[in-house]
Structure 1
Amino acid sequence: MDGKYTFVKVSDRKLNGFDKNEVQELLLKWSMKERLKIQTYCFNEEFHSYDSRQFVMDFFKDPTVTTTLENVDYNNVWTPVGIAAGDVKIEQIPCTITSMEFFDRLQEKRQVADKRGHINKCLGEPIENFEIWDELRKMLLDEESENRELFSKSEKNEFIYHLFYHLCLGGQLCQYEDTLPPYLKVTKLLYKDLVSVAKDQDTKKIVTTSVVYRVVAKDKNGRSYFPEDAEHLQNFCYLIVDPMKRAVKCVIHQFGSSF
Structure 2
Amino acid sequence: MAAGEPGDLGVYSFRFLPQKTFQSLSTPQTTSRLRQWSMLGRIEAQAFGFDQTFQAYRKDDFVMAFFKDPNVIPNLKLLSESSGEWLTLGTEVKKIKKKKNNQCIGGIAKLSQQWKLTSNGYVKIQRLLLKDKRC
TM band (smaller chain): 0.7 to 0.9
CA RMSD across the alignment: 2.7
Distance 1:61 1:39 in 2: 17
Tell me whether 1:48 sits opposite 2:59 in the alignment. Answer: no
Query: Structure 2, unaligned stretches of length 5 or more?
Result: 5-9
Partner residue of 1:146? none
Query: Structure 1, unaligned stretches of length 5 or more?
Result: 94-158, 197-244, 246-259
State the 1:33 CA deviation.
1.8
Distance change >3 Å, CA 35–CA 46, structure 1 → 2: same
Question: Which structure carries more helix by proportion?
Answer: 2
SS of alignment partner, residue 15 of structure 2 = strand
CA deviation string 1:151-180 (max 9, x = no partner) = xxxxxxxx4xx64xx43xx23xx3625463
Distance change >3 Å, CA 30–CA 12, structure 1 → 2: farther
Tell me whether 1:59 sits opposite 2:66 in the alignment. Answer: yes
Distance 2:130 2:53 in 1: 24
Letter in 1 for 2:51: N
Which of 7, 11, 23 matches 2:18?
Answer: 11
Distance 1:45 1:86 in 2: 22
Q: After superposition, where does 1:162-201 map in structure 2 within 5 Å?
A: 163=104, 166-167=105-106, 170-171=107-108, 174=109, 176=113, 178=116, 180-194=119-133, 196=134
Distance 1:18 1:85 in 2: 28
Tell me whether 1:75 sits opposite 2:83 in the alignment. Answer: yes
Task: Give the number of the structure whose alpha-carbon radius of gyration is greater.
Answer: 1
Structure 1 runs (4+) deviating above 6 angstroms are none
Identity %: 26
Question: Which structure carries more strand by proportion?
Answer: 1
Contact 1:18 1:193 in 2 (8 A): no
Letter in 2 for 1:68: N
- TM-score, length basis structure 1: 0.41
Q: How many residues align?
A: 123
State the 1:12 CA deviation.
4.1
- TM-score, length basis structure 2: 0.73
SS of alignment partner, residue 32 of structure 2 = helix
Letter in 2 for 1:183: Y
Contact 2:20 2:46 in 1 (8 A): no
